[in-house]
Amino acid sequence: MKIALTGTPGTGKTTIAALLPYQVIDINSLVKEGMNLGIDPDRGCLEADMDALADCLKELDGEETVILEGHFSHHFADWAIVLRLEPSALRSRLQARGYSATKMQENLEAEALDVILVEAAERCQRVDEIDTTGKSPQQVAEIVAGIIERRLRLPAGQVDWLMEFFG
Ligand code: ADP
Ligand code: MG
């Protein structure tokens, strides 16, 4: 079974995936390694080949749990776990990554407006949402494991950053 670990860039997907006792497929690496349509001239980064990715990932529909990790992994799974982070905390992380002002604003707004959560809810049969703010990577990984093992259910809709961001 494929489970997408998704969220706005900087919310901790790669860090958390590395702590999980499951096979992890890094969607960004697949894109870099060839599943792309070249550089998108407007954005200056590689444009993912969504059809090629979908074809390649379709073969992973066995019994075994596989984590798809990346900010559009929810396009390729029926179940998504969305990592959320307060925009002020996300800002610090993206600053540390050296994001430009434009890219920073775009990502903070996407987090504040639940963009990935909404996309996941439109595509996936099940969506769980974790507020990672103030939690250590180990704590978040334990919550993710609890969700995957079906001991925990954190339905979408608990997180609301609107007052914090726009209030
Ligand atoms: P993503 O893969 O979602 O873009 P990363 O896993 O690369 O995010 O994490 C972004 C940054 O935030 C990294 O420097 C990472 O060490 C840090 N980080 C991730 N999760 C946490 C956490 N729960 N608490 C503190 N720092 C974290
Ligand atoms: Mg990452």
For the chain, domains (ranges, CATH) are: 2-166 (3.40.50.300)
Q: For residue 51, how far is its CA from the centre of ligand 2 (angstroms)?
A: 21
Q: For residue 135, how far is its CA from the centre of ligand 1 (angstroms)?
A: 11
Q: For residue 77, how far is its CA from the centre of ligand 2 (angstroms)?
A: 18
**The pLDDT value given to residue 59:** 84
Token representation of residue 44: 């200056």
Token representation of residue 104: 């920073």
**The pLDDT value given to residue 62:** 83
Supply the angle between the helices 101-112 and 115-123 in degrees, to the nearest 10. Answer: 50
Residue 66 near residue 1, CB atoms below 8 Å: yes
Residue 130 near residue 86, CB atoms below 8 Å: no
Please state the atom number of ligand 1 nearest to the C-alpha of residue 8. Answer: 3
Considering just the CA atoms, what is the radius of gyration of the chain in Å? 15
**The pLDDT value given to residue 60:** 86
141 SS3 class = helix
Ligand nearest to the CA of 13: 1
Q: For residue 155, how far is its CA from the centre of ligand 2 (angstroms)?
A: 23
Please state the atom number of ligand 1 nearest to the C-alpha of residue 17. Answer: 6
Dihedral angle, C-alpha 154, 158, 161, 162, nearest 10 °: 150
**The pLDDT value given to residue 16:** 98
Q: For residue 14, how far is its CA from the centre of ligand 2 (angstroms)?
A: 4
Measured from CB, residues less than 6 Å from any atom of ligand 1 are 7, 9-15, 93, 132, 135-137, 140
pLDDT under 50 in the chain at which residues? none
**The pLDDT value given to residue 165:** 87
Please state the atom number of ligand 1 nearest to the C-alpha of residue 15. Answer: 6
Q: Which of 73, 66, 100 is nearest to 11 (CA)?
A: 73
**The pLDDT value given to residue 126:** 98
